[in-house]
Amino acid sequence: MSSLADLPEVVGFFSYSREDDEAFRGSLSALRDAVGRELAAQLGRNKRNFRLWQDQEAIAPGKLWELEIAKAIEQAVFFLPIVSPRAVASAYCQFEFNSFLARERALGRADLVFPILYISVPALHDEARWRKDPVLSIVARRQYIDWRPFRHVVAHTTAFGEAIERFCGKIVEALREPWISPEERRRQEAEARRRAREEENIRREVDAKKRAKEEDARRRREEAETQRRLAEEERRRLENEAKRRAEEEGRLRQEAEAKSRAEEEKRVKEERRERPIRTFTGHDGHVYRVAIAPDGRTALSGSADETLKLWDLASGATIRTFIGHDSAVLAVAFAPDGRTALSGSADETLKLWDLASGATIRTFSGHNGAIVSVAIRPDGRTALSGSGDKTLKLWDLASGAAIRAFTGHDGAIHSVAVTPDGRFALSGSADKKLKLWDLELWDLAGGAAIRTFTGHADAVESVAIAPNGRAALSGSRDRTLKLWDLAGGAAIHTFSGHADAVWSVATAPDGRTALSGSRDYTLKLWDLAGGAAIHTFSGHAYGVASVAIGPDGRTALSGSRDKTLKLWDLA
């Protein structure tokens, strides 16, 4: 493989603005002469086989000029453009530049342009501008030599000569790179195509013979396979027939066994539901309210004996008793983190408790009646209370301050609940109504309800909001439960079955079932979609005042005026 330096004649092209050369008294021609001499020396060439072409004569513009330039560039193997404002603006210089780029591509190279920055061109230092210029875009991408420090240096000085030597060394290095001429490259490509055609023809012949052999072998295999398949199909038919008879016998046996198991499981399940898992004793008065911790391991109860108790649901043991209220504890609720709890009492106060130590963290005063229900919002920072004074109050748990009061009920408020997003609250009252409140946007005149739900024939004792936040359940002294559409206010279902007032309701975490506790001493599990009672739980000796469902939906807790709590299996 040869190089451009091995050509019989090495020709370069020196592109410049003659106006620059004239303006600086032939300095560009002197630069060209110095480069020519140094290149000839480094290449070991003489005037007969090395030329650095320069448009020194005044060739008139037009076809003659273009022909002369094209002829010279067609012979050139490297290109030295002088970069100056005049050269960049010159249509002639641009023609020379573009012509050599075409020549460079024909040579199969991209390293034969060696720009010389002779006079500063501001656009060359502004990428947004040089990218739009056909000449500067090439100059900026090539490794140009900055000749501005030598523009006013006398040509025969040592510094000038050393710079010329270094510059020419780079040109010579590029010319000595291995290179294949376009003619040789075309010849090699033609030879490669010829060999490829021959190899392709041979491959096709081999493939044809191979396919013929394979086709013959395939035909024989297919014939043998057909015979084997027929025999196999007959064997499988006989096996399948025997298998079908065996499976039919097995299916009938499994159905009988499954039916027997289902009946046994139903019997065991009914027996398990008939009896509570555990009974919790320790209160000396009615148990008015129960709540299960977020982790499902402990529970709280509030009683007429003026105390709260924290229970271990697994063992039934009392973990701690909380003393501080001066009258019956009517409401309890766990904080979302399970570390604190809130209680409401007939002494007209709320108390926030530290469950780990049993200490009272804060007491909240402001109601003028017994506090019957409390609910802590999901963020754990505020809580809602409902009172016999017919109002709801929103409290700041950190400071103990009452943020606002909500009025509108005509009777004592028996129950409050907060939607899962903490935005809305629902209340149930002795006035037979439920009301929906917006806890974020409220009427500054008193916190007016945004919707009222009517339909019960007696006092609403308990409310609970479904996990999806779109429906709610209420229990009433009229012995019914009602499922409500919170958005529209309509009653979706009415659930009948209790023999006395419904004192408490709770929805399961999956939103498919609900539990109620009644003055008739029973709990009932309901199908919310169909409205049917799934099961009735009996065991308390007095009315069931409160019910709560565990976070896994498998167990429930009840509190009764018989002074006990009971844990039930809902599964």
Average pLDDT over residues 371-399: 97
Core vs surface per residue 350-364: b (16+ CB within 10 A) or e:
bbbbebeeeeeebeb
For residue 571, the model assigns a pLDDT of 83
In 144-181, which ranges are continuous DSSP H helix? 158-175
Average pLDDT over residues 200-209: 88
**Taking CA 366 as the corner, what is the angle to CA 361 and CA 367, rounded to the nearest 5 degrees?**
115
For residue 447, the model assigns a pLDDT of 59
pLDDT tens column, 432-447: 999 999 998 754 444 5
For residue 122, the model assigns a pLDDT of 87
Average pLDDT over residues 222-232: 88
pLDDT tens column, 93-119: 888 888 999 998 988 888 999 999 999
What is 2-179's CATH number?
3.40.50.10140
pLDDT tens column, 310-328: 999 999 999 999 999 999 9
Structural domain spans, the chain: 2-179, 183-274, 278-569
pLDDT at 407 over 60: yes
Q: Which of 39-48, 260-269, 359-368 holds the top average pLDDT?
A: 359-368
pLDDT tens column, 479-534: 999 999 999 999 999 999 999 999 999 999 999 999 999 999 999 999 999 999 99
Residue 404: strand, helix, or coil: strand
For residue 269, the model assigns a pLDDT of 62
pLDDT at 1 over 60: no
Angle in degrees, 0-180, between the axes of helices 91-106 and 63-75, rounded to the nearest 10:
40
**Lowest mean per-residue pLDDT among 138-142, 203-207, 325-329, 345-349:** 138-142
pLDDT tens column, 3-62: 988 899 999 999 998 888 888 888 898 899 999 999 999 999 998 999 998 865 434 555
For residue 444, the model assigns a pLDDT of 47
**Lowest mean per-residue pLDDT among 159-163, 328-332, 390-394, 418-422:** 159-163
Q: Which residues contact 481 (CB under 8 A, 6 or more apart)?
A: 473, 474, 475, 494, 495, 502, 505, 514, 516, 526
Residue 150: count of CB within 10 angstroms of its CB: 19
- Mean pLDDT, all residues of the chain: 90
**Lowest mean per-residue pLDDT among 71-80, 250-259, 431-440, 504-513:** 250-259
Second CATH level (architecture) for the domain 278-569: 7 Propeller (2.130)
For residue 411, the model assigns a pLDDT of 97
396 pLDDT band, cuts 50/70/90, is very high
Percent of the chain whose pLDDT exceeds 90: 61
In 126-275 the beta strands, taken as DSSP E runs, fall at 145-146, 178-179
For residue 127, the model assigns a pLDDT of 79
DSSP secondary structure letters along 371-387 = EEEEEE-TTSSEEEEEE
124 pLDDT band, cuts 50/70/90, is confident
For residue 57, the model assigns a pLDDT of 46
pLDDT at 274 over 70: no
Burial class (CB in 10 A: 0-12, 13-18, 19+), 217: exposed
CA distance 343 to 325: 9
The dihedral over CA atoms of 148, 152, 155, 160, expressed in degrees to the nearest 10, equals -40
pLDDT tens column, 374-383: 999 999 999 9
Topology alike, domains 2-179 and 278-569 = no
Average pLDDT over residues 393-417: 96
CA distance 530 to 546: 24
pLDDT at 467 over 50: yes
Distance of CA 490 to the CA centre of its chain: 38
